[in-house]
Homo-oligomer: A and B are copies of this chain.
Amino acid sequence: MEGEDQSMTDAPNGFDESHAAPAAAGREGGDTIIKNGMNVDVDESEEFSDTDEAVKSMYRRGMLPTGCCYDDRMKLHANADFGPSPHHPEDPRRIEEIMKMFKKAGLVFTGPDSDLLDILRETPTKYMWRIPARPATKSEVCTVHTARHYDWVQNLSQMSTRELRTLSHKLDQGRASLYVGGMSYEAALLAAGGCVETCKNVASGQVKNAFAIIRPPGHHAEYDVPMGFCLFNNVPIGARVCQNEYPDTCRKILILDWDVHHGNGVQNIFYEDPNILYISLHVYENGNFYPGKPDNDMIPDGDIDKVGEGPGKGKNVNIGWPSQGMGDGEYLAAFQKIVMPIAREFDPDMVIISAGFDAADGDELGGCFVTPPCYAHMTHMLMSLAGGKVAVCLEGGYNLKAISNSALAVARTLMGEPPPKMGVPPLNKDAARLLARVQAVQAPYWECMRPGIIEVRELGDNTSRLHDVIRGYQRQILAEKYSMIPLFIQREVLYKSFENQVLVTPGLQARRKILFIIHDPPELRAMPDIIDNTVDPHNGFILDGVMSYIEWAHKNDFGIMDANIPHYITHSEDIDAFTPRADEKTLQRQIQELVCYIWDNYLQLYDVEDLFIVGVGNAYLGVKVLLTNRGVINFVTGNLRPVKSETDTELSSWYKQNSLVYVTNDHACWTDNDLAKKVLKKRFGGVHRSPEVGLNRMMEAHAKEVFEFISERCSEDRSGNTTEDEK
């Protein structure tokens, strides 16, 4: 239905005369009006003897109007391959709906032009000032794109409808994700030219700030190829033209991209440019969200580690959310913790917002929940930069209602409305951790990101990983108290992390009762100095829930085997970088190897009657491996693991009866009724929802139950004389 969409029939020739004409006319009279608006102030400000020129000129800008660029002809870009399918999300009506909303809200004057000129002469800030769009020139487009790319787009206007339809169908597939039509070239030129005019008006101080309602969008278009609904990359063209035309006053530009998709095109065009700071907030989903990975299987463009290259190093900031579902809390936190500190430090001469509204509440493609008030607040914060020189350029956003409400909130803020009162929802924890990671990644390039970040390389020699210190201490304590000694584990390579990994009480081979504890390293909490991250050891704390279990076992005459499972497997002398946690698979393999080794070389040779296994934390997956044995107690905060065996069909039932699995109260499985039911099935064992949160708290809370569970199942204790404890 597109291409002859009903919205187009309002203006059959593609021009909305009633808009285009006055915009052009207004332009003529524009300079006069603006000068008139300023005259009073210029005169009065001559009284200032002791206030400097910069402050004076700043004050004049407050009496300038907010600009608005719109041209109905940009609706002419429509899909040549229309058919029975529903509207393409990049619907020509997108720009029209926004313009309608601006008119409804009274931001754009709807009466006759003669009246508008009078009104603006008196009150230049009452309505938006119209900035007419014009086709970008080839040389403007080629500040960013290759001539070959320009020609490719231009050629669209020469193709037959049939050819266009075939091409459109082909381009719609995969990462290209694009449609074309017979007027796409003309519309794309207007979008780029409108963006250029908008940015130039802002940069040169003709308007206070401005909003360009343009399409097709631009931020996915690479320098040499169109993609993601984008033909020319409007914002970079606008930025480059301004840098060229106002080299002294518009050198450094911040491009803030809050479209829900990463602006790969903008990033790559400026990847080595020190004068363009590109900050993008987008859904990343580990590289699975559009635009995802380039074809050549490199790191996804939207990755936080993409920080720019060469002279542009640190001038690319990706805030890639781990999942959809982000909203006001996360966006405001990103602005407070990352965007504004870095932007202030960069101190741009102009701010361009690549303003997609597909992170808006209501946009299904984006799946996020940013409200119009939040867009207003983000705009308001950015208006504190660059003396208020902010150009807002439309990118994506596909829910017509959501985009027009969001754009309205932004435009009102540009025009000086106080941003609306809003409560801030709590911050998603994964998002908070992502922001901390972004801070760490950007710390080498921005002073404001450095407090709180360690550069491991600079720590020097004489450095030990705390991990080894803690295990060394545990060995010392366990040796002193229970004469425990390291168990020899044969390994191909010896890593520092494995020293003292398994400690046992002496004479283990002769014990009838053995408690085998497989545990994560103890928890460590500390509040480091805000500047240099030194931690006062006195105010650092080790939470080691395992110790009281060992003490109980020792008192009750168990042999004890204590295995520490580090989260990291590293090379012996690797202290030159932060190491990411071992992934699930590596960890699983490591634990299986260890547990099998212990089984094959020790436990199965022993004369043990009762073997109890306690799994703590991630290490609990080691328990699965030993499940042909006796009682099992697990404490779980991470993944729950089903136990089944294809050879022993009774295993799951046995597990259910002979295990205690304590799951942390805030585990995701409890948030969903269906999930909770599943978890309580037998293959997950004797699952209990703990009233406590966190490993150590659970271990403390359930110690008594566990000791009873074990006592009841011990061969010599099966008479059941534990009633005293139960009281």
Contacts and interface: CB of A to CB of B under 8 A. Distances in A.
A229 to B, nearest CB: 26
Contacts of A544: 462-464
B125 A542 contact: no
Contact of A524 (B372, B466, B476): B466
A347 B422 CA distance: 7
A452 interface: yes
A534 interface: yes
In this complex, which of A50, A408, A427, A524 has the most chain B Cβ atoms within 10 angstroms of its Cβ?
A: A524
A460 B530 contact: no
A8 interface: no
A523 interface: yes
A433 B529 contact: yes
Contacts of A678: none
Contact of A542 (B420, B433, B464, B531): B464
Main secondary structure of the interface of A (DSSP, over half): mixed
Size bracket of the A interface:
35 or more
Given A54-B420, A59-B417, A384-B381, A540 B465 contact: yes
A543 B51 contact: no
B530 A435 contact: yes
Given A59-B417, A384-B381, A533 B542 contact: no
Count of identical protomers in the assembly: 2
A539 B436 CA distance: 15
A537 B466 contact: yes
A149 interface: no
Contact of A530 (B384, B436, B470): B436
A543 B456 CA distance: 11
A85 to B, nearest CB: 28
Contacts of A719: none
A21 interface: no
Contacts of A447: 426
Contacts of A63: 126
Interface stretch (A291-299, A337-345, A710-718): A337-345
A542 B534 CA distance: 10
B436 A541 contact: no
Contact of A385 (B421, B567, B696): B421
Contact of A469 (B470, B568, B575): B470
Contacts of A372: 55
Interface in A343-401: 344-345, 347, 349, 372, 377, 380-381, 383-389, 401
A387 B418 contact: yes
Nearest to A469: B473
Interface in A131-182: none
A440 B526 CA distance: 13
A463 B539 contact: no
Interface string A449-476: 0011110100111111111011011011
A419 interface: yes
A11 interface: no
A106 B539 CA distance: 57
Contact of A526 (B40, B340, B533): B533
B527 A452 contact: yes
B530 A525 contact: no
A25 interface: no
A527 B453 contact: yes
Contacts of A387: 418-421
Interface stretch (A41-49, A237-245, A590-598): A41-49
A626 interface: no
Interface in A419-440: 419-424, 426-427, 429, 432-433, 435-436, 440
Contact of A105 (B59, B123, B344, B472): B59
A469 B448 CA distance: 33
Contact of A532 (B416, B456, B525, B700): B525
B700 A459 contact: no
A24 interface: no
B535 A466 contact: yes
A536 interface: yes
A528 B535 CA distance: 10
A416 B419 contact: no
Nearest to A455: B525
Contacts of A466: 524, 526, 535, 537-538, 540-542
A530 B567 contact: no
16 contacts: A44-B104, A48-B104, A125-B416, A344-B424, A347-B421, A381-B384, A435-B530, A454-B527, A464-B542, A469-B470, A524-B536, A525-B535, A526-B535, A526-B540, A538-B579, A541-B575
Given A381-B384, A475-B476, 5 more contacts: A460-B543, A464-B544, A465-B537, A466-B538, A525-B532
List the 3 closest pairs (A to B, CB-CB), nearest first.
A388-B418, A466-B540, A44-B106
